[in-house]
Amino acid sequence: MNLITHNKAYSIFPRETFEERRSLIYVRDAESALKARTKYETRGWRFLTEIDTDEIQNSKTAFAEGLRYLGDSRCWTIPLHPELDFSPKYWEANSWILRYDISSHPMHMWELLQGRLHFTYLLPVGLWLSVAFVQDKYKVRDADQ
């Protein structure tokens, strides 16, 4: 997965994306997803519904279980120029947990933190960060202020 913001480009699984041409499948039954997968399979991509146990347990692999966040050491993060003077950059506050079920099928584990904050954030299930922590760490101000 890749995304581009106003000041950086990110690849969450760079080796798997650009070198190995493979991707994890979370949504297996959606018709629109099947159509997109078919298009990329004809271009040489492999879509994985399960991962080998060795790869899950090896912390050096991109598909290993554990906490991830946008801009972590497993991501490729490329600054874009010229530097634009937009609002503060909160993208890297988003995080999730990559887990696998008993059959080694991937599961994304996250919840949305929203409400009193000006923006919505993706946070790992069961690893709640308090609003005060997020506000302090990322210099977020309450939307009501």
User: d(Cα 40, Cα 97) in Å, to the nearest integer?
Assistant: 26
Report the predicted TM-score, pTM, of the whole model to 2 decimal places: 0.67
Is residue 27 domain-resident?
Answer: yes
- Which pLDDT belongs to residue 141? 45
User: d(Cα 104, Cα 107) in Å, to the nearest integer?
Assistant: 9
Is residue 99 domain-resident?
Answer: yes
What angle (nearest 5°) sits at the alpha carbon of residue 53, between those of residues 75 and 51? 60
* Three-state secondary structure call for residue 106: strand
Structural domain range at position 53: 2-108
Residue pLDDT, tens place only, 12-57: 899 999 999 998 887 666 777 788 888 999 999 998 888 889 988 9
Q: HSE (CB half, 13 Å, CA atoms) of 71? A: 12
Q: Residue 141: which residues within 8 A CB-CB, separation 6 or more?
A: 118, 135
Is residue 86 domain-resident?
Answer: yes
Number of domains in the chain: 1
